[in-house]
Amino acid sequence: MPSAVVTGLTSCQKKALTVLEREGNVFLTGAAGTGKSYLLDRYLSGKPSDAFPVVASTGAAAVIVGGRTFHSFFGIGILEGGIDATIARATRNRKVIQRLQRACCVIIDEISMLPGITLEAAETVARRARGNGAPWGGLRIIAVGDFAQLPPVTANQQNKDWAFRHPLWEESDFQPALLSTVMRTQDIDFLHILNFIREGIVNDRVRAFLDERTDFSDDDAEGTRLYPRRMQADQYNHLRLEALPGTVRTFQTLYEGSPQYADSAKRAMPIPDRLHLKEGALIMMRKNEQGEAPRFVNGSLGIVRHIGEELLKIKLLSGETVEAGPEKFSYLDGDGNEVASAWNFPVTLAWATTIHKAQGVSLDRLIVDLHALWEPGQAYVALSRVRSGDGLRIERWSPGSIRAEPLVTAFYNALAETARKYVPRPLFVPPVPPPAKQGKPKRPPASKRLERTRALLAEGKDIDSIASACSLTPATVIKYVEKLIKSGQAPSIRHLADSIAHADHIRGLFSEEGLERLRPVYDALNGSVSFEDLSIMRLVMMAEAQQDEVLSF
């Protein structure tokens, strides 16, 4: 029997999950908003990351999905020196060999953005590392993505090196797992229009739909504008921020980690080096809220109502008011270890963004310029970001911007025919008993994780130990400890200061600067103490101050 639970899935998701659980390589695909990432999370639940690593085609995508880049995992970098030199380097790297031998199934996210030659290099490395002449060295591959969206980045844009056109694609024998039910919107008329645009069709129905929503959008219109170029988006955000009353508040992103990864990590982060905000600014959340019933996800829009040094109050366009503190974004190496991180509020200005950066995001309201787009699929990616046709406004559009790549259309027509002839394969059984069977249990509800955190604190456990025991990140444990302190439920946490170097000096600096802000202490120490350690020390002092108040009362 398949191990995954199929309740709560659409009929096409159930069929796709069946394909995922059976032998052979799989291509999980579908239109924007059909739930590819959601289904993948269901399939991977409880599976160990070393045996089932998730890799992404770009650093930005890797940070969002909590994975590592395709290039770092296979040790191929940017193919410096050509494919032969790249393969030779990777197969001399002991770490690359070890992780490819540990893995039994690799999940490649955003496959459409990987050129065929890049796949060829990785596949050759996998065969040599595993000493196996079968495609990918016998390693199972689950490729995820949609070729009708963003294309591969290649030097010659006139002749795109589509992965599905490379001989390796056919040799890999990918079984299609097609998703057709769009989850992002229930607007049936809008879905029909999106399907036409996905195929590059501009008929009377498409024209009428786009014309009805085409209007000059003044600056008071709520929603995010999508532009094809970053410079356009940055300029518009700057103009809108300057137009608001009040003083700009600037928050510098704090970077930590290995210097050799600094440049790559900065480019991958979904937050800017300097975050400029004012009260009244339209922002986009860049992380999902943790918990059983999250009120916002990556892409949710809101208005900044209050700006503090360590806290933002945001009125979501959905109507709810939420608070957000600084969050950590992690950059992982090929082994899945955090080698760099960035701390700042998990928001960006959202009056405008680029079509590329909006991929994977669901927007409530969208304003878009569909004139003079040059890339097939750009119009489809832009329009499919919004949840409903009612939330869409178009500044202008031209038929020439609505284009599909004929090769992609033909590929998907053939794929649908292959899927119709599907013959179930045997269930996929990892070659060795996966550690997940004895390891990572299903995460308990947030309330139980909070209570578990309190109990482990009472036992004298440190932040890292609690994170490991509760399947949480250290940053989330720190948040839980702060909740316990504020609710008066925290046990003694003085032991947390024991592992922090120069704790007495840090105490003195907090006593001078106050506990409201971390940045003055960070600057006073010239960045020699991590933002995470300063957060822990601040919590210790908050708990001590609270205890002193109780005793004095």
Q: Taking Cα atoms as reference points, which of 51, 93, 95, 90 lies closest to residue 71?
A: 90
| Residue range 476-499, pLDDT digits in tens | 888 888 888 888 888 888 888 888
Identity (one letter) of the amino acid at 185?
T
pLDDT of residue 446: 63
pLDDT at 7 over 90: no
Task: Identify which has the larger pLDDT, 152 or 234.
Answer: 234
Neighbours of 162 (CB within 10 A): 20
> From CA 517, how far away is CA 307, in angstroms rounded?
13
Mean pLDDT of 79-98: 89
Confidence (pLDDT) at 164: 94
Average pLDDT value over all residues in the chain:
83
Angle between helices 83-91 and 116-130 (to 10 degrees): 30
What are 256-296's pLDDT values in tens digits? 887 777 777 787 788 888 999 999 999 988 877 766 566 87
Domain membership flag for residue 248: yes
Type of residue numbered 308: G
Report the C-alpha gap between 373 and 396 in whole angstroms. 11
Q: Are residues 376 and 508 in the same domain?
A: no
What sign has the CA pseudo-torsion 138, 143, 148, 150? negative
Q: How many residues does the chain have?
A: 553
Maximum separation of any 2 CA atoms in the chain, in Å: 77
Residue 144 shares a structural domain with residue 202:
no
Tell me which residue of 136, 152, 159 sits closest to 74, measured CA to CA.
136
Q: Return the pLDDT at 184.
A: 63
Beta strand pairing call for 140-144 and 312-316: unpaired
5-9, 62-66, 201-205: least confident range: 5-9
Classify residue 296: in a domain, yes or no: yes
217 and 258 share one domain: yes
If asked whether residues 325 and 422 sit together in one domain, one would say: no
Q: What angle do CA 103, 109, 113 make, to 5 degrees?
A: 125
- Look at residue 177 in the predicted model and tell me its pLDDT: 92
Question: Distance between CA atoms of 343 and 464, rounded to whole angstroms?
Answer: 18
- Token pair belonging to 260: 């050799």
Evaluate whether residue 441 is within a structural domain: no
* Residues 218 and 271 grouped into a single domain: yes
Residue 435's CB is within 10 A of a number of other CB atoms, namely 15
Asked whether residue 294 falls in the same domain as residue 309, the answer is yes
3-class SS of residue 41: helix
If you average pLDDT over residues 78-107, what whole number do you get?
A: 90
Q: What is the CATH number of the domain that holds 505?
A: 1.10.10.1390
Is pLDDT of 433 > 70? Answer: no
Domain containing 517 equals: 446-552
**CATH number for position 412:** 3.40.50.300
Q: Scanning the structure block, which residue is given the tokens 């008011």?
A: 321
Measuring CA to CA, which residue among 14, 62, 56 is closest to residue 35?
14
How many independent structural domains does the chain possess?
3
The lowest-confidence range among 2-11, 433-442, 522-531 is 433-442
Strand partners, 353: 226
Judge whether 4 lies within some domain.
no
Indicate whether 60 and 176 sit together in one domain.
yes
Q: pLDDT tens digits for 12-23? A: 889 999 999 999
pLDDT digits (tens, 9 = 90+) for 343-388: 899 999 989 988 777 766 777 788 888 887 777 888 888 888 888 8
CA dist., res. 221 & res. 231, Å (int):
21
- Position 6 in a domain: no
Using pLDDT thresholds of 50, 70 and 90, give the confidence band for residue 471: confident
Answer yes or no: do 200 and 218 share one domain.
Answer: yes
Strands 338-344 and 254-257: antiparallel
Same domain for 150 and 232?
Answer: no
On whether residue 480 sits in a domain, the answer given is yes
Is it the case that residue 1 has pLDDT exceeding 50?
Answer: no
User: Same domain for 210 and 339?
Assistant: yes
Q: Does the pLDDT at position 440 exceed 50?
A: no
**What is the pLDDT at residue 202?**
93
Residue 276's DSSP bridge partners are: 250
Decide if pLDDT at 524 tops 50: yes
340 and 422 assigned to the same domain: no
pLDDT at residue 475, as a whole number:
78
The structure tokens 């191990």 sit at: 3
**pLDDT tops 70 at residue 6:** no
Residue 237 lies in a domain: yes
pLDDT above 70 coverage of the chain, percent: 89
Both 423 and 493 in one domain: the answer is: no
